Amino acid sequence: MKFTELGLSPEILEGISRLGFETPTPVQAAVIPAILNNGRDLVALAQTGTGKTAAFGLPILQMLDTNIKTPQTLILCPTRELCMQIARDLENFAACVRGVRVLAVYGGADIKPQLAAMVRGVDIVVATPGRMVDLLRRKRADFSKIKRVVLDEADEMLNMGFEEDLEAILSEVPDGAQTLLFSATMPRQVASIAKKYMKDPEEITVGTRNAGAENVSHEYLVVHAKDRYRALKRLADFYPDMYGIVFCRTRQETQDIADHLGKDGYKSESLHGDLTQQQRDRVMKRFRARELQMLVATDVAARGLDVTDLTHVINYSLPDDLGSYTHRSGRTGRAGKTGVSIALINMREHNKVKFIEKQLGRKFVQRNVPTGADICQARLLGLMERLSQMNPEPGLIDEILPSLCASLEGVSREELLRRFASMELQRMLDYYSKEPDINTEPLHEGSHAARKKQTAAGGLVELCMNIGKANRLAPKQLMNLVNVADRSSSVEIGRINITHMQSYFEVPRDAAQAVIDSFAKSLVDFEGRRVSVTLAGAGNPAKRDEKRAANPHRPNRPKNPPGKKPGHWQK
């Protein structure tokens, strides 16, 4: 199928032809005729990077009446970056259409020029929800002529907490306006918005609902928690042309990893919520210019990023929900290109991978962390490939080539390559000659290894963690924290009691000090707070009794009540 078969005007076709567009993507082939021909509300489910902007932008541009001075189309999207990108794309699509005015409205910028542009008159407003609400409160946005509303990356906007803003905006739109909702996934909140503000919408699904992009492969590497950073470095060394995003759970973890990568000589920067808009713009400018190899980011900070050439997404920590994983992996493999999503997991996270596999409908492949020999071979073969493809220009090198050949007379081809490789890779060879193999195997629940690791002797002791209900800590999360700290093996956990500010849990006596030390050595973070563990009562029975008196709701717990075995917990 060609764009000429979709019912687009000659002006639109000329504009996209100049951009090199010839064949529509599946979402464009399905959505463009639907918008042009039937005028129904529409829900389109498709992954990011599949051409959704052109899918809604081209028919919207064709149906504009450029004689009207007030906005006819409102496009809402989650972030400033995506807002500006959509506005630029629409202007490029409309290069051969006379009189089209597109305005990007977003926070983090002076509102006065945006207000002035609204007064002068625009046809299409592309806005972030927060700034659009601001314009409505100032009564500077006229929605009386709005004919179409586009909700782009609707699931992202809801994940970012824009539900109230969206409802405030949509309540101002004329009842007869066509609503077009585009989303990668269809969570409950998106379905609720569709039900409330759309009338009998047509649904178009490209691929499988809530599934990842087809051209992204999914892999995972199993390492001890203490070796995650070493594994990340090895991936960066093994893929010297990597251009990717490393996803972390918290702002602090993001900053720490970016700092460590910078000190180790890797071109990377962090992207998180503590950055100012100016700092964020500077980081993104460097990343888009490929001055950075890796962007280390939180999920929230990376939402709405429009970078089409990413080769890898690295899940330094797996997210807790499928939607977040889908959006992470969807950052690569865009615009018809292939990409790789790699998860670094510890031994106890195998079931988490299996759950995502089942929900996503895609098979994950377990890979080994590259060894030093693997990395050196990959780097050398890549260098040889570049040498073989070089076509040097004639010049000074030709004049001195005879002297170079004479100086190497008697040196065989193999010896020459050996010396060249050693010289080019000496630093890496020296480093990895001392580095161990950090691969390990996942710990499957119910396996003999798991049962063996869950066996301990010598009685139980109580430890205290410095976070509690106030930090939204649950028993399962506490167990995960204990076993992802800087440890090479899992530990049996007995009774758990979570109070408002602290949590108490029992571990085998012979493992207690190792657990305490593991938190001291590791940068374990929960909800932005550094986690520490100490012996409950610091070994002082009087102090423990004092704590119990101060917290009468904390029950006295027998060591092993009837019917309960160590390792079980209850709320």
DSSP result, 277-346: HHHHHHHHHHHHTT--SEEEEEHHHHTT---S---EEEESS--SSHHHHHHHHTTSS-TT--EEEEEEE-
Structure confidence by residue, pLDDT tens digits, 358-386? 878 888 999 999 988 888 888 888 777 77
Fold of 3-205: Rossmann fold (3.40.50)
Question: Cα-flanking dihedrals φ and ψ of residue 525, to 5°?
Answer: -130, 140
Question: Cβ(56)–Cβ(34) under 8 Å?
Answer: no
The whole-number pLDDT of residue 208 equals 55
Task: Flag residues of the chain having pLDDT under 70.
Answer: 48-49, 207-214, 303-304, 306, 335-336, 442-458, 486-490, 538-571
- For the sheet with 364-366, list strands across it: 268-271, 294-298, 244-248, 312-315, 339-345, 216-222, 364-366
Domain with CATH 3.30.70.330 in the chain: 454-550
Based on the number of CB atoms within 10 Å of its own CB, is 262 exposed (0-12), middle (13-18) or buried (19 or more)? middle
- Among 3.30.70.260, 2.30.110.10, 3.40.50.300, 1.10.10.10, name the CATH number for the domain at 216-371: 3.40.50.300
CA 354, 519, 514, 501 dihedral sign is: negative
The whole-number pLDDT of residue 521 equals 82
Neighbours of 293 (CB within 10 A): 18
Structure confidence by residue, pLDDT tens digits, 23-82? 898 889 999 999 998 889 999 988 766 788 999 999 999 999 988 889 999 999 988 888
Quick one: how many helices (H) and strands (E) in the chain? 22, 20
Instruction: Map residue 535 onto helix, strand or coil.
Output: strand
Fold of 454-550: Alpha-Beta Plaits (3.30.70)
pTM of the predicted structure, to 2 decimals? 0.57
Q: Which helix (H) or strand (E) holds 232?
A: helix 228-238
The whole-number pLDDT of residue 546 equals 39
b/e per residue 65-92 (b: at least 16 CB within 10 A): eeeeeebbbbbbbbbbbbbbbbbebbbe
Question: Structure tokens of 549?
Answer: 């008196």
Domain with CATH 3.40.50.300 in the chain: 3-205, 216-371
Question: Structure tokens of 329?
Answer: 């992996």
CA 325, 328, 332, 335 dihedral sign is: positive
